[in-house]
Structure formats: structure tokens, C-alpha cells
Amino acid sequence: MEGANRWKGRQEMNIIIIGGGKLGFYLAKTLIEHQHHPVVIEADSETCTEISDSLEIPVVCGDGTTAEALRAAGADHADVLVAVTGKDEQNLVACQLARMTFPIKRTAAKVNNPKNAGIMRQLGIDIVISSTDAIARLIEWEVDLSGFKYIASLGQGEATLHEIMLPVDFAYSGRKLSEVKLPEQSVLVAVERQHEVIIPRGNTEIIAGDKLVVLVKGDVLDKVRDKLKL
């Protein structure tokens, strides 16, 4: 119940996963648990059957680097495409094709050779990473329309930086930071206001329209969201 409640209220997304190996399978399973709608594209027919039977989700048996397979998987209305095959070149082609041909908001790719990570980012892939759980979290943080945006991870993902845009109806607008008291394992690093960067102190006011940079350790991002009433 705790896991389900943690993701309650999140925007449901249509997500295409290229590659039905162990990583693709568990990523799809994780996204289902988070109330999203994954579709897997996999070339091996036996693997397709296993995924379909185990997870009861749509599976396209085909080549994820072709427009035909992407269209069959619903790329015309997908929010995210994640390529997690064992070949970096296939992951790159799938992501580039998705962005050039379909109205997909974000692309993410597993990088098998760390030396290719920088190149893949330069070539337009939004999220380049290797961890299943981190891919799931990053998809949600990047596409989430609540004003949260992932910036970077520290210590191999132990802590993460996020940008938060405070809405016009921000509940604590005009209150001092010392009055808001963010949860344990989180700290406000900076406030951007009208292109000015403010290093916050306890008496710093946070107001609607501010852009906050918050550092969180572990799985406390939702607690920050709840505390700020976003």
C-alpha cells in the first residue's frame, strides 16, 4: 500500500520500451506498478510471448529501430520512448527516429559502453543511464507536469538535484524558509527570481514564480512535494 500511495496522483503516461530483456521486462513491471502504460517492442518472438503472458501488456514483435514497429506500439500518442537493448547504436537510432518522426516528449536510453554516454547526449537523447529504477524515476521527473525537473545525481544516485517551479497559487508564497521547514534529507540550494540567483538563508522568503533548486537524499522527493503542497 505504501508504494502505491507514493505514486498516487502522478500523471499516467504511455511509454514505449525497446528491448524485452531482463532490464526491459523489469522496467515495464516497475512502470505498471507506478500506474503507467508501457508497450514493449522486442525482436525475439519467444520473449514477446513471455512478456505478454507475464505482464499482460501489449507487445510488438519487431525491430524497434523502424517506424513501422514504433507506430504499431502507439508512438503517435506516446509520451516517452525508452531504448534498453544491449546495443548502444540500436538505442540511439530508436530514440532519434522517435523524436524525428513522432510527437514523443522524451527519449531515454540505456548506455552499455560508458564512453558512449556523452555522444548520445550530444545527439539529442534526453536521458542516458543504466539503472532500471533510475530510468523509471527520471522518466517521471522529466515528464511530470507539476513543475519538478531532474537536474543531476550525486554519489551514484544516492542524492539528486531538482529544479522546482513554484506555481502562481503557491500556498507558502511570502513565507520565510525557516517557516516552511523542508523534510529531513532535503535542502534548498538556490532560489532563482527574475533571473537573479539567491543563496537562501532561514530568513529568505520564497514566493510564487520562484524557481527552487533542491538537493534530496534517498527517496524523499515526494515528501518535498507534499510539504510544498504542489
Our count of domains for the chain comes to 2
What does the pLDDT read at residue 119? Answer: 87
Q: What is the arithmetic mean of pLDDT over 24-42?
A: 91
Is the pLDDT at 188 greater than 60, yes or no?
A: yes
Residues 161 and 128 in one domain: no
Q: Which residue has the cell 509520451?
A: 79
Q: What angle do CA 162, 168, 174 make, to 5 degrees?
A: 85
Residues 178 and 114 in one domain: no
Is the pLDDT at 10 greater than 60, yes or no?
A: no
Local structure of 138: helix, strand or coil: helix
Is the pLDDT at 9 greater than 60, yes or no?
A: no
Cβ atoms within 10 Å of 41's Cβ, excluding its own: 29
Residues 21 and 125 in one domain: yes
Q: What is the arithmetic mean of pLDDT over 33-58?
A: 94
What does the pLDDT read at residue 140? Answer: 57
- Which among 118, 143, 168 is the end of a domain? 143
Residues 219 and 18: their CA atoms lie apart, in Å, by 27
Residues 117 and 157 in one domain: no
Q: What is the arithmetic mean of pLDDT over 199-227?
A: 90
101-150 pLDDT, tens digit per residue, is: 999 988 989 888 878 888 888 888 888 876 554 566 556 555 554 567 77
Is the pLDDT at 6 greater than 90, yes or no?
A: no
The whole domain housing 58 covers: 2-143
In Å, the largest CA–CA distance within the chain is: 61
What does the pLDDT read at residue 35? Answer: 85
Is the pLDDT at 1 greater than 50, yes or no?
A: no
Residues 107 and 185 in one domain: no
What does the pLDDT read at residue 79? Answer: 92
CA trace torsion 42, 46, 48, 50 (10° rounding): -140
Q: Specify the CATH number for the domain of residue 178.
A: 3.30.70.1450
Nearest to 210 by CA among 147, 151, 152, 153: 147
Residues 107 and 187 in one domain: no
Residues 137 and 175 in one domain: no
Q: What is the mean pLDDT of the chain?
A: 85
129 membership: H or E segment, kind and range: strand 127-129
- Sheet order of strands, 37-42 included: 59-61, 37-42, 14-18, 80-83, 106-110, 127-129
Residues 132 and 5: their CA atoms lie apart, in Å, by 21
Q: What is the arithmetic mean of pLDDT over 16-36?
A: 90
Residues 155 and 131 in one domain: no
- Which among 83, 108, 143 is the end of a domain? 143
Residues 41 and 28 in one domain: yes
Question: Quick check: pTM over 0.75?
Answer: no
DSSP string, 28-76: HHHHHHTT-EEEEEES-HHHHHHHHHHH---EEES-TTSHHHHHHTTGG
Residues 35 and 109 in one domain: yes
What does the pLDDT read at residue 12? Answer: 83
What does the pLDDT read at residue 230? Answer: 75
State residue 121 phi and psi, 5-degree precision: -65, -45
Q: Specify the CATH number for the domain of residue 63.
A: 3.40.50.720
Please tell me the chain's helix, strand, coil percentages from 3-state DSSP, rounded to the nearest 5: 35, 25, 35
Residues 46 and 114 in one domain: yes
Compute the half-sphere exposure of residue 218: CA atoms within 13 Å on the CB side of its CA: 6
